[in-house]
Every structure is written in C-alpha cells, then in structure tokens.
Structure 1
Amino acid sequence: MTLYRADPNHGVAWVTGGSSGIGRSLARDLASQGYAVAVTALDDDPIDTLIVETAQMPGKVVSFPCDVTDEPRMARTVAAIENGLGPIVLAIFNAGNYISTPGESLVVKDFRRSFEVNYFGIINGLVPVVEHMRVRARGHVVLVGSVTAYFGWPTTAAYGGTKAAINILAESLKYDFDKMNIRVQVINPGFVDTPLTEKNMLPMPGLMPVGRATRRMVRGIKSGGFEVTFPYRTSWPLKILGMLPRPLCRWVIGLTTSWKARPLHYERKPPNK
C-alpha cells in the first residue's frame, strides 16, 4: 500500500506558529497550492495581513488563534478546524522558540519554556489531530525540527534538545503511523533568516531567505521521504559531522566557532524556585 500523502482536494492544511517566519511563509505557499490553510498563532499575533495577502490565491487562510502550550485549548482548536473548515489532512507543527542557554548562566525556566513550546506544543496538537486521522484511515503529519538535532552546539542545550526530541518522536511514531496510513515527516532545515535566528550567537553558514526555505519545505512535503533537510551544502556536512566520534565533532565545532576564545558573558540571575 502506498502511504498517504496530503492533497489540497482532500481537506485542510493546519500550520502552527503561523504569524511570522517559516510558519507565515509556509501558510502563504500552501494557499498558493490551493489549500484551505488553518493558521494557529498566539492571540496577540494576528494574521490579518496574511489573510489579505493570500485573498487572491487558489486557496485561503483562516485564523484559529491558540497558545500551543495550552493542551485543552489545542484540542478545542482541532475540533473547531474540523467542524468549521473541514478535515485536517496535513498538520504542520512549526511553532517554536529559541532561548540561548550558555553554560555559565543556566536557568531552569529557559529549559522548561523551550520544551513547553517546541516539544509539548507539538504533542498538544498531535494527539487530537491524529485521532481524527486514525478514524479516517489517512493523514499527513509534519514536524519541524532543525539541523541542531544532529549534535550539541554551544548555547543550544535547550533548543537543540527539543529538536533532537522531535526527531526521535517522529522516528518512534512512524512504526505505528505507517500501519494507520498516516505519513509522518520531520523537516530539519539549516539556518533560515527569520526573527528566531536573529537571536542566534553562532555562525550560520548557508543562511537562507525564508521564502526559498519554505518552497523547499513544500516540495519536500509533496515528494520527499521521512526526513527533509536543506540546503544540502550545509545539512549534509553537518549530518556527516554528527556521525563522527564525539571528541572529533566537538573539536570541529570548537574550531569553526572559535568558541574557546570567546569570553564568558555571565549574566547574574536569581536562583530558580
């Protein structure tokens, strides 16, 4: 049996984290492909201008605001999309944040917040939407990860940890999702020029404009395999680097980032309660 792949004629695409960056550009690209796109963002991140921008496209964008960390409300959002717009055939879990975690200034709440948004923000939507897909015996789920999942980078203990967890989540679920005719993909983009990467302290080789990145993502969703990663000139060297013995991997990263030469930037913070 050929595993299901979403089609705009079958139903709705749902994109979380759709107010800016990758999510916003993805929603625009999907609307241009003819999808009715349900976009979820925070209540104070309206997508009114996105709706206007896509008004003349073959598809349409409809706002379903929600905080992805709110489990009950995410379940209600899935129900609202299904009841008001149509069956969700493509769910793209893109919402995320980046909090730098330098080793000299660790704060528990930074780790907790990273996992609440980046990881449990997926789980809170994945569980209810997959139940609908299971009943229909078809569906397509996309989890947005990162090349930082391949190995540890300086200052990414929280962010990279969430992205590694997302990759393991996708790999683990694939065994049973395949049997339910639910395609699961993980997208591990390289560095994309978004408000999120502006917070990054590290060198970002192969930094891509967001529009080019999301066009690659849409192509990968339509025709790619389990993992979609790009640009190859960045992602594949990093993937290979992640396969090397860890001391050698750390040496290369230390050399390319000149991390040992960087002074500590200690910011005194109150103890965690």
Structure 2
Amino acid sequence: MAERTYPWKVAWITGASGAICGEVARRLADAGVQVAATARPSERLDALAAASPNITAFPADVLDVEALKACAAKVEAALGPIELALLGAGMYVPFDIRNIDAGGFGKTMALNVDGVLNGVAAVLPAMLNRGEGHLAIMGSLFGYAGWPGNGGYGASKAAVINLAESLKLELRGTGVDLTLINPGFVDTPLNASYDPKKKLFVMSKERCARKILEKLPKRPYEIAFPPQVELFLKTVRNLPRAASFPLVRWFIKATGS
C-alpha cells in the first residue's frame, strides 16, 4: 500500500497530549508533515515529541490567549506558515443533576469553548493575511442534542458547533477553510468516567484518527461519525421537542443505557 500523503507541510495541533489529537499527530508525522504539538507541559507531550523527528513540542496553555498567540508565532518562526490548525483541547466532567458540579461545568466550558476560540484567535489572522489556511475544530455529535449525564460537555460542544457555523459563513471567499470534526463516543481517558452502557457505538482512537484523516484533506465543512449516532442525534435535533424527548427516553430504555 502506498504511503498516504497530505496537502499540509506544517500542522499545529492543540490538545496534542490527548488520545485523538495525539494519534492524528503521529499519523501526520509518519507521512512527513511537520507537526507542532501544543498542550500544557507533561510527560505525555514529551513522549509524543520523542516519537517522531517530525513532531516538535510547543508547550502552552490554551486558556491563555496571549501565550497561545506567542506559541503560534514561535511555530511559524521555527517551522514555517501553519497550513493546518487542529484545535482539539477538551475535557469531560460528569453532570449529575442531584449534585451539580458548577466548578467542573465552568472548567469544561472554558477549555472546550475558550480553548478553541483562543486557538482561532492565535492562528486565523496570519491565515487571512496569506489568503490560505485550514482550521479544524474538534466538536462532538453530542453537541447536537441533549443527553443524560452530559449537560456540561454537551453544552460546550453545542457552543463549538455554533461558533464553527458562524466562522464558516464569515470565512467564505477568504481562502481559509474550516472543518468541524464531530465524533461520537471514542474510547479515550477523556470520557472514562462516563457510564459505559451509555457509550453508543464507541470507537477506538486509531479508527477515529483514521476517519478524520481520510476526509480532512478534502476540506469538508463537517466530518461526523459513526453514521448511526450522527443520524440519530441529528434527527433528534430536528424533531419537535414533543417528539424528540420521548424518542431519547425510549432509546435509553430500549438499550438499557
């Protein structure tokens, strides 16, 4: 089988120490892409950088917008223009209506939403000035519909989906493309605390990364998978609430989740 090639020379990945983004980083590097891996300093980030000569660690906190802008500038000074920015930092905190973790909710919103916006702010101006670039934002299919135990994470990803839609409309004609990546459940430490019975059609990080990189070079607006979860949740989103809420409750009861 011929080695896969990609249209980007330099890719900047935030949340690179996470399971999905780390796997994407390794696959891009194996294909010859220069990958700038950004996350807070950690052994996982160091290990990722040590895995390939094509991966360089650029530690930064995505919640610090000025530090992230400085980080993006360092990447471009060291490796060249960022052609692909995959903004993937994220977290999940369980949501229990009987014991609401307001602090966890706030942290989830900050990392999953502000972390993405800060990444956009760090890289988009240079892309617009060049008249080319590709933003890829990590959302979730669970941003399309409410789901039990998922109040914080789902709310944050709903915000990301709305942000992506708004950006897509404004980026038309600029030469900068935007792709929203919406996985369903992926078997990662991120959602290890989520009830396993509620993880619909759970996927491995390897399969998830492969699906992302199969489609990302074509620059679609959305990459969503698995199709069964996409169809169900988007159908639920588009139904009248008088129909969608009973459908979700029926599904949960039917699947024992």
In the superposition, the TM-score normalised over structure 2's length comes to: 0.91
Q: What CA distance in whole angstroms lies between the structure 2 residues aligned with 1:103 and 1:247?
A: 22
Query: C-alpha displacement at 1:164, in angstroms?
Result: 0.7
| 1:237 pairs with 2:235 | no
* Structure 2 equivalent of residue 67 of structure 1: 61
In structure 1, the residue corresponding to 2:198 is in which secondary structure?
coil
Alignment-derived partner of residue 226 in structure 1? 221
Aligned-partner Cα distance in 2 for 1:94–1:103: 27
Q: Kindly indicate whether the alpha-carbon contact (under 8 Å) linking 2:178 and 2:219 is maintained by their aligned counterparts in 1.
A: no
Q: Which moved more, 1:234-243 or 1:115-124?
A: 234-243
The higher relative CO (CA closer than 8 Å, separation ≥ 6) is in 1
What residue in structure 2 maps to residue 23 of structure 1? 21
Task: Determine the structure 1 residue equivalent to 2:181.
Answer: 187
Structure 2 Cα separation of the partners of residues 256 and 25 of structure 1: 32
SS at match of 2:156: helix
Measured in 2, the distance between the counterparts of 1:214 and 1:127 equals 25
**1:5-20 aligned within 5 A:** 7-8=7-8, 11-20=9-18
- Aligned-partner Cα distance in 2 for 1:225–1:134: 19
Q: Give 1:142's aligned residue.
A: 136
- The CA distance in 2 between the partners of 1:191 and 1:99, in whole Å, is 14
**C-alpha deviation, 1:221, in angstroms:** 0.7
Q: 1:169 aligns with which of 163, 181, 187?
A: 163
Unaligned runs of 5+ in 1: 1-5, 263-273
Shift of 1:125: 1.5
Q: Distance in 1 between matches of 2:64 and 2:234?
A: 34
Deviations 1:218-244 (A, max 9, x none): 112112521110111222222222222
Q: Distance in 2 between matches of 1:51 and 1:110?
A: 30
Contact 2:65 2:121 in 1 (8 A): no
What residue number does 1:120 align with?
114
Shift of 1:53: 2.8
Is the helix fraction higher in 1 or 2? 2
Give 1:46-57 correspondences, 5 Å limit: 46-55=44-53
Letter in 2 for 1:222: P
Residue equivalent to 1:257: 252
Report deviation, 1:31: 1.1
Shift of the 247–105 alpha-carbon distance from structure 1 to 2, 3 Å rule, reads farther
Per-residue CA distance 1:189-243 (angstroms, 9 max, x = gap)? 1111111121212611211111011110011211252111011122222222222
Instruction: Return closer, same or farther for 1:198/1:107 CA change in 2, 3 Å cut-off.
Output: closer
Distance 2:150 2:200 in 1: 16
Task: Read off the aligned partner of 2:16 and give its amino acid letter.
Answer: G
Structure 2 partner of 1:266: none
Native 8 Å contact 2:177 2:219 kept in 1:
no
Give the alignment partner of residue 208 of structure 1, picking from 203, 211, 214: 203
Gaps of 5+ in 2: 1-5
Q: What value does the CA root-mean-square deviation take over the aligned residues?
A: 1.9
Q: Which residue of 2 aligns with 1:265?
A: none
In the alignment, structure 1 residue 43 sits paired with structure 2 residue 73:
no
Moved more, 45-54 or 167-176: 45-54
Deviation at 1:45, TM superposition (A): 4.3
Amino acid at match of 1:166: V
Identity score, percent? 33
Q: CA deviation at 1:47?
A: 2.3
Cα deviation, 1:76-135, whole Å, max 9, x if unaligned, reads: 111110111211010001100001122221233222211110000011111120011011
Q: In the aligned structure 2, how far is the partner of 1:94 from the partner of 1:63?
A: 15
- How far apart in 2 are the matches of 1:126 and 1:155? 29
